[in-house]
Structure 1
Amino acid sequence: MISIREVTELTGLSAPTLRYYESEGLIPYVKRDESGRRLYDHEALECIRYVTLLKTTGMPISQIRKYVCLYKEGNSTISVRKSMLTNHKEEIENKMKELYSNLDKINYKLALYDILESQMNNTTIKI
């Protein structure tokens, strides 16, 4: 069992963020000592890491909360959780395709600028 301070050092998350995640039901496995201080075990740390991963991928808090609630219900919800992750994966892939398309357009424009600059400087571009 480790303290909230140790969890902040391990995860890079602030104590207020951890308390917020707990209050939102995203970290359901936080225990307390006799003084009411939070104590985190391996299961809580794994939950924090996965919630952070989902948040980083752009999954909304409401969806993460739903996912965690389903997880707590047990194996009977595996297919629903799998479906949620499949849908989220597809959304990420679509965003990535859009970003790559936009990046291609930027790279094309940069190549045009290289050509224009070389013409202005009377230099040839070597390929």
Structure 2
Amino acid sequence: MPEDTLDLTIGEVAERTGLSVHALRFYEREDLLANPVRRGAAGWRVYSEDDVEWLRLCILLRASGMPLDSIRRYTALVRQGDGNEEERLTLLRQHEKQVVAQLDELNRCLDVIRYKIAVYEDYLADQS
């Protein structure tokens, strides 16, 4: 059976994504999954490889600072299907600008930290 048709349990998805079971349920409650979570015969949540890949994207977007409302909006656009690519692109471009600004700020911070490290290294070298 091809890997993309395998049904995955919530525990397996947690292991693959690094999210806790609690976080996976949160993502579901917050309507952040591109596809509704299916239920197996016993009523247990069943996920696919596509769900895992979507969750990995959500994790990346969240780690880059995208607000949950924006991820939710992006998810809704994807669910709607073709025809709203311009809106998806606009949303991602806006987030890209925010990420670039964060990187610029972090680089300024890193410059100061490196400067201070050099100061202390020089000081300690002079003490020897």
- TM-score range for the pair, normalised by the shorter chain length: 0.7 to 0.9
Confirm whether residue 10 of structure 1 aligns to residue 19 of structure 2: no
Q: Distance between the aligned counterparts of 1:116 and 1:43, measured in 2?
A: 55
When the two chains are superposed, the root-mean-square deviation of aligned CA atoms in Å is 1.4
Q: Distance between the aligned counterparts of 1:28 and 1:83, measured in 2?
A: 19
Runs (5+) with no aligned partner, structure 1: 122-127
Confirm whether residue 74 of structure 1 aligns to residue 78 of structure 2: no
Shift of the alpha carbon at 1:28?
Answer: 4.0
Q: Secondary structure at the match of 2:84?
A: helix
For the pair shown, which has the larger CA radius of gyration, 1 or 2? 1
Structure 2 length normalisation: TM-score?
A: 0.86
Retained in 1: the 8 A contact 2:16–2:52?
no
Retained in 2: the 8 A contact 1:22–1:28?
no
1:102 counterpart (85, 109, 114): 109
Count residues with an aligned counterpart: 121
- Which one scores higher on RCO, CA 8 angstroms, separation ≥ 6? 2
Retained in 2: the 8 A contact 1:70–1:81?
yes
Q: Distance between the aligned counterparts of 2:125 and 2:52, measured in 1?
A: 55
Confirm whether residue 52 of structure 1 aligns to residue 59 of structure 2: yes
Render the CA deviation track for 1:12-38: whole Å, top value 9, x for unaligned.
211111011001000142101132210
Runs (5+) with no aligned partner, structure 2: 1-6
Q: Secondary structure at the match of 1:50?
A: helix
1:76-95 equivalences in 2 (<5 Å): 76-95=83-102
Letter in 2 for 1:18: L
Structure 1 residue ranges (4+ consecutive) displaced by more than 6 angstroms after TM superposition: none
Residue 3 (structure 2) aligns with = none
Structure 1 length normalisation: TM-score?
A: 0.87
Confirm whether residue 23 of structure 1 aligns to residue 29 of structure 2: yes
Q: Distance between the aligned counterparts of 1:42 and 1:110, measured in 2?
A: 45
Q: Distance between the aligned counterparts of 1:113 and 1:2, measured in 2?
A: 52
